[in-house]
C-alpha cells in the first residue's frame, strides 16, 4: 500500500481541484438539507400534537433539576407514547443519516478515482434504497456500541474494523449489512494502525488550523467596536471554511486509502 504521506498528497490534490471540491459541496448541501428538513418536519409534527420523545423528557428534566424544581415521572401511557415517538424519530434519523453518509461516500469515491460518469446520480443513490442504508447504519451502530460496552478501546478497534462498510455498500449496493461488515473486517485485518495514523494526522492538523484563529479572537475581544466585529466575523468564516475543507480532505484521503486497501486485500 501507499504510505500515508502519499495518500494525503493525492487526496489533497483531489480536494484542491475546484471541480471536485464544488461537486462535494453540492452533494453535502443537498443531502444534509433534505435530512434536516425531514427531521424538522417530524419535530414539528410532534410539537403540534404535544408528543414528547424520551430525549425531550430528559432535557426538560435536566432543566428542571438545575432550576431546583421537581419533574413528574411520566405515567405508563405517556411512557409508551414516548417510546413510540422516540423509536420513529430514530427510524427517520437512521434513514436520512444513511442517505447522507451514502451520498458523501459515493462522491468522495468518485473524486478519489477521478470518475466523472454519473457522479451526481450515484451520489443520490441512498434515496432509492433508504431501508438498506438505514439498516446498515443501524447494524453498524449496534455492533460498535456493544463493543464499546466492554471498554473504550474495543469500541475504537471495532470502528476501524468496520470502517470500510460504507465504501463497500456504495460499490456493491446489492450487498446486505452483514456482508459489508464482514468484508470490511477482512480488508482491515492488519491495516487498522495505518488507518489510525491517517486519521491522527488530520486530527492534529485540524486542531492546529482551528487554534490559529485564537489570536484573532483575542484581538477582536480587546479592540471591540466595528474593527472587533469585523475580526470576529472573519475568524468565524475562517473556522467554518477550515472545518469544511478538513472534512472533505479527510473524506477523500479515506477513499484513497480504501482504493489502496482493495489492491492490498483483493476480493471485494
Confidence (pLDDT) at 102: 95
Residues in the chain: 268
User: Considering the entire predicted model, what is its pTM?
Assistant: 0.84
Q: Where are the domains of the chain?
A: 4-264
Per-residue pLDDT band for 161 (boundaries 50, 70, 90) equals very high
pLDDT at position 195 is 92
* Closest CA relative to residue 35, chosen from 108, 114, 89: 89
Q: Which residue has the higher pLDDT, 66 or 203?
A: 203
Euclidean distance between CA atoms 56 and 65, whole angstroms: 14
| CA dihedral angle for residue 190, residue 192, residue 194, residue 195, rounded to 10 degrees | 140
Q: What is the pLDDT of residue 40?
A: 87
Tell me the pLDDT tens digit for each residue of 73-102: 777 877 888 888 888 988 999 999 999 999
SS3 85: helix
Cα separation of 239 and 231, whole Å? 12
Task: Locate all alpha helices (DSSP H) within the chain, ordered by sequence.
Answer: 4-16, 18-49, 54-66, 76-113, 119-123, 130-150, 152-161, 165-171, 177-188, 192-211, 214-223, 225-264
pLDDT at position 246 over 80: yes
209 pLDDT band (50/70/90 cuts)? Answer: confident
* pLDDT for the residue 11: 87
Distance CA 40, CA 141 (A): 23
Q: Which among 15-19, 35-39, 54-58, 154-158 has the top mean pLDDT?
A: 154-158
Going by pLDDT thresholds of 50, 70 and 90, the confidence category of residue 1 is low
* pLDDT for res 240: 83
Angstrom distance (rounded) from CA 223 to CA 138: 50
Mean pLDDT of 2-15: 82
Instruction: Dig out the grid coordinates for 84 from the structure.
Output: 413510540
At residue 183, the pLDDT reads 95
268 pLDDT tier (thresholds 50, 70, 90): low
Nearest to 171 by CA among 100, 120, 264, 102: 102
What mean pLDDT is predicted for residues 165-185? Answer: 95
Burial 55-87 (b: 16+ CB within 10 A, else e): ebbeeebeeeeeeeeeeeeeeeeeeebbeebbe
What is the pLDDT, as a whole number, of residue 207? 85
Amino acid at each position: 500500500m501507499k504510505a500515508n504521506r502519499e495518500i494525503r498528497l493525492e487526496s489533497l490534490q483531489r480536494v484542491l481541484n475546484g471541480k471536485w471540491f464544488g461537486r462535494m459541496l453540492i452533494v453535502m448541501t443537498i443531502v444534509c438539507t433534505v435530512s434536516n428538513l425531514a427531521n424538522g418536519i417530524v419535530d414539528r409534527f410532534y410539537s403540534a400534537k404535544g408528543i414528547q420523545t424520551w430525549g425531550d423528557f430528559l432535557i426538560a428534566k435536566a432543566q428542571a433539576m438545575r432550576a431546583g424544581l421537581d419533574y413528574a415521572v411520566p405515567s405508563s401511557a405517556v411512557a409508551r407514547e414516548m417510546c413510540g415517538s422516540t423509536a420513529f424519530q430514530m427510524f427517520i434519523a437512521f434513514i436520512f443519516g444513511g442517505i447522507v453518509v451514502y451520498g458523501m461516500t459515493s462522491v468522495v469515491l468518485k473524486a478519489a478515482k477521478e470518475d466523472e460518469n454519473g457522479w451526481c446520480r450515484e451520489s443520490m443513490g441512498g434515496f432509492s434504497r433508504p431501508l438498506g442504508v438505514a439498516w446498515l447504519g443501524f447494524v453498524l451502530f449496534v455492533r460498535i456500541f456493544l463493543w464499546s460496552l466492554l471498554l473504550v478501546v474495543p469500541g475504537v478497534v471495532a470502528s476501524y474494523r468496520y470502517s470500510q462498510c460504507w465504501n463497500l455498500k456504495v460499490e456493491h449496493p446489492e450487498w446486505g449489512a452483514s456482508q459489508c461488515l464482514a468484508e470490511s473486517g477482512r480488508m482491515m485485518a492488519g491495516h487498522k494502525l495505518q488507518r489510525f495514523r491517517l486519521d491522527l494526522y488530520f486530527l492534529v492538523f485540524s486542531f492546529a488550523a482551528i487554534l490559529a484563529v485564537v489570536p484573532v479572537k483575542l484581538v477582536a475581544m480587546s479592540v471591540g467596536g466595528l474593527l472587533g466585529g469585523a475580526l470576529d466575523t472573519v475568524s468565524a468564516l475562517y473556522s467554518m471554511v477550515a472545518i469544511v475543507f478538513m472534512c472533505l480532505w479527510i473524506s477523500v484521503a479515506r477513499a484513497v486509502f480504501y482504493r489502496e486497501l482493495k489492491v492490498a486485500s483483493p476480493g471485494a
